Amino acid sequence: MEVAAVTFANGGDNIGVYVPVFATAGAGGMSVYAAVFLALVAVWCFAGKFFATRPVIAKALARWGHILLPVVLIATGLLILIEGGAFGL
């Protein structure tokens, strides 16, 4: 239940961004969005299975994943902000 609550709470910004995009995309655009989304979910699933079944990588992620994941997410967010010119306002 907690995961669902956090997911719902964090989804407001997605609704604000994607509803206008999907509303103006049309049937062809929505088909492309859906196909790309499903293809990339499959890539993530295969990549996750690949890395999780490699003992060295799985062991390192089990030990350092709780530190590595926040660092990667923060770095990705900063890269997006910097590349988008958010600090030059």
Compare 89 and 2 and report the one with higher pLDDT: 2
Q: 14 by DSSP, 3-state: which?
A: helix
Nearest residue to 26 via CA among 34, 36, 37: 34
CA–CA gap between residue 19 and residue 26 (Å, rounded) = 12
Q: Summarize pLDDT for 24-43 with one digit per residue, the tens.
A: 988 999 999 999 999 999 99
Task: Show me where the domains of the chain are located.
Answer: 1-46, 54-89
Residue 50 has pLDDT above 90, yes or no: yes
Residue 20 has pLDDT above 70, yes or no: yes
**AA letter at 56:** V
Residue 17 has pLDDT above 70, yes or no: yes
Compare 71 and 17 and report the one with higher pLDDT: 71
